[in-house]
Structure formats: C-alpha cells, structure tokens
Amino acid sequence: MSCPSPLDAATLADYWLALLPAAAEDSVEQHLFECDHCGARLREAVSLVDGIRALAREGSLRMVVSQTFLERATAAGLRLREYAPAPGGSVQCTVTAEDDLLIARLSADLQGAGRVDLCLCDGNGVEQRRSADIPFRPNSGVVVYQESMAFAKAAPTSTMIVRLVAFDEAEGERLLGEYTFNHTRSLPGPGAW
Ligand SMILES: [Zn+2]
C-alpha cells in the first residue's frame, strides 16, 4: 500500500474529531474512500484520538469540542451533563459521580470574529485563565466547552463566570457573551459544605 499524496496526521485527527470545514471534510472522505493506505493511517490516528477521549473521560482536559465529538462520546456510552445558559444569563449547575463529561454550550454571534478567546473568571468576574484563539465555526452560533471533570468534581460550591471575547490586534477585545455558572457541590469530600 502506498499513497502519492498522503493525508497528514493532523488532518486525519481533525477529520475524526469533525473539526474540518465541510469542503475539506468531503475531500478527505473521498480520499479515504479510495485509499487503503490513508485508511490504515486513520485507524492509527483514531487510536490516538481514543487516548484523548480516555483523558477526557478521566476529566483532566479543558477544551473546546465539536458537536460531532459529543455525538460520538454519547454513542460510546459516555454520560454527558450539559448546561446552556443564555448570553448574559446564569445557570445552576452541579456534577455527579456518574457524569463522564461536563459540557457548557455557550451561544454567541461569532460571525466576523477573527480570533475568539475563552476566559474563565471567578465569581467577581476577575479573569483567572484564558484559552486564546479557540477553534470555532463562525456560522455555528455556539462554542461547546468541556470543563475538566477532575476540577469540577473537586470544586467547592462557588460561582464561575465564563466570557467569550473576540480579539483584534487593532481594536482590542469585544465581549461576545458572558455566562454565569452557580456551581453546587454534590459530592462528599474536601470542599463540600
Ligand atoms: Zn492516501
């Protein structure tokens, strides 16, 4: 088996995670349909991706994920807990021992944004950490964020504010949406009330 123009590993991984734009996805799909060599390489990539998924299940990753990733995770039997506060709104949330993934759906108008940052803030709105230049689809109207399950399960009852901002070198920041998570701890252990 050989291939004159093999798909690169990053493309294969993005394909599996459904992160490719539609046109690129179609051409990769067509290539894989015809090419056993790259099909075998996709299976290798998938085993790497499954490693990432195992990490996600253990909950050590904070990351932006795709709708397709969630569908595959659900199909694989993972239990999702999802919250979808409106922009400017708040939601009561918690996490239980049975949950595998903790997901926030952050709806926002992303059109026209060149770079989008996701900021995690404390209950007073003071930024604690920032994921710069997150992946997003301009027309999707939503960013799906996976919180670290290890963090959430250990967190005390507290409030976290998440902000999506568009960032532009010339114009600075523009708020796309702010979302308040009033977290109630439901697991015993340190930090529990
Ligand atoms: Zn190929």
Please tell me the distance between residue 24's alpha carbon and the centre of ligand 1 in angstroms: 14
Q: Between 166 and 97, whose confidence is greater?
A: 166
Q: What is the pTM of this model?
A: 0.69
Q: Between 114 and 59, whose confidence is greater?
A: 114
Q: Between 162 and 147, whose confidence is greater?
A: 162
Q: Name the range with the highest mean pLDDT among 64-73, 117-126, 148-157, 183-192.
A: 117-126
Which structure tokens are listed for 53?
A: 């998924």
Spell out the domains of the chain, with CATH numbers in brackets: 9-54 (no CATH), 79-183 (2.60.40.4070)
Neighbours of ion ligand 1 (CB under 5 A): 3, 6, 35, 37-38
Please tell me the distance between residue 39's alpha carbon and the centre of ligand 1 in angstroms: 7
DSSP 8-state code for residue 113: -
Phi, psi at 44, each rounded to 5°: -65, -45
Please tell me the distance between residue 15's alpha carbon and the centre of ligand 1 in angstroms: 14
User: How large is the average pLDDT for residues 36-49?
Assistant: 81
Q: How far apart are CA 122 and CA 128, in angstroms?
A: 7
pLDDT at residue 54 in the model? 67
Please tell me the distance between residue 33's alpha carbon and the centre of ligand 1 in angstroms: 9
Which structure tokens are listed for 192?
A: 């529990």
